[in-house]
Amino acid sequence: MTDVRVVDYGPQWRDDFARLNLEWLERWFSVEPIDEAVLGDPETHILDDGGLILMAVTDDDTAIGTVALKHHGDGVYELTKMAVEPGHRGSGIGRALLVAAIDCYRTLDGNRLFLESNAKLETALRMYESGGFQHRPAPPSPYARADVYMEWSPEP
């Protein structure tokens, strides 16, 4: 396998950010209006509000994974839009993206990191749990598919 590194989002990866996320959304669910808005303009919907996007790229700068931290204000961040290209799943790229996102969150003066997911995504849920996310009662969600809500707790 080629070397993979996690880097900050740049405009050259805009189409890849959408492509990677559309693949899993269309495979497991359907693309919702909120997905279309965020994937169509991540700069406005994630970056401009103090969030960030990370990309997993190969040594030739091919994007094969992504994750975002969306800032909701008052130090609240959402881990969102995590995706790994199908041919690279199971190789630790998702874990590397998760660790990098949590490391970035730690530098942001945040007071809560949460994610929303779906019970169908068992492998992803196990990864989130092993990364320190704990299941919590779900508040209302903008996503019809969301039936899992988790918050990250730093290790004691």
Distance separating alpha carbons of residues 10 and 25, to the nearest angstrom: 22
Q: Which domain holds residue 86?
A: 4-112
Tell me which of 16 and 154 has the higher pLDDT. Answer: 16
Q: What is the CATH number of the domain that holds 51?
A: 3.40.630.30
In a domain, 137, yes or no: no
64 with 4: CB under 8 angstroms?
A: yes
Place of tokens 């997905």: 35
In a domain, 108, yes or no: yes
pLDDT tens-digit map of 112-137: 999 999 999 999 999 999 999 999 99
Place of tokens 């990098």: 100
74 with 50: CB under 8 angstroms?
A: no
pLDDT tens-digit map of 5-37: 999 999 999 999 999 999 999 999 999 999 999
Q: Number of structural domains, the chain? A: 1
Distance separating alpha carbons of residues 150 and 64, to the nearest angstrom: 25
Q: What 3-state DSSP class applies to 136?
A: coil
pTM, to two decimals: 0.94
Q: Which residues pair with 77 in a beta bridge?
A: 71, 113
Angle between helices 122-130 and 93-106 (to 10 degrees): 40
